[in-house]
């Protein structure tokens, strides 16, 4: 999931700051998620999916 969030963010050419702002979370928390240091709650997954304009399950897909 961590790599997928990073891939989706980068495909939009967004910084961590931009995604964190759109998802209403701290940039440092998002950075930890992208590194796999944290396990997000369902609420956090929903925030990320909404910010990225994808479904929650899309955060777990392996393809591009």
- pLDDT single digits (tens) 12-54: 999 999 999 999 999 999 999 999 999 999 999 999 999 999 9
CATH number at residue 33: 1.10.260.40
Q: Which two tokens stand for residue 34?
A: 């992208």
In angstroms, rounded to a whole number, what is the distance separating the alpha carbons of residues 1 and 49? Answer: 12
pLDDT band at 5 (very low <50, low <70, confident <90, very high): very high
Domains: count for the chain: 1
Note down the domain range covering 48: 2-56
Length of the chain: 64
State the virtual CA torsion across 39, 35, 25, 44 in degrees, nearest 10. -30
């Amino acid at each position: 999931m961590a790599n997928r969030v990073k891939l989706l963010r980068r495909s939009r050419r967004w910084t961590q700051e931009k995604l964190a702002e759109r998802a209403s979370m701290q940039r440092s928390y998002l950075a930890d998620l992208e590194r796999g240091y944290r396990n997000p709650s369902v609420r956090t997954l929903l925030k990320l999916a909404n910010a990225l304009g994808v479904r929650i399950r899309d955060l777990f897909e392996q393809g591009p």
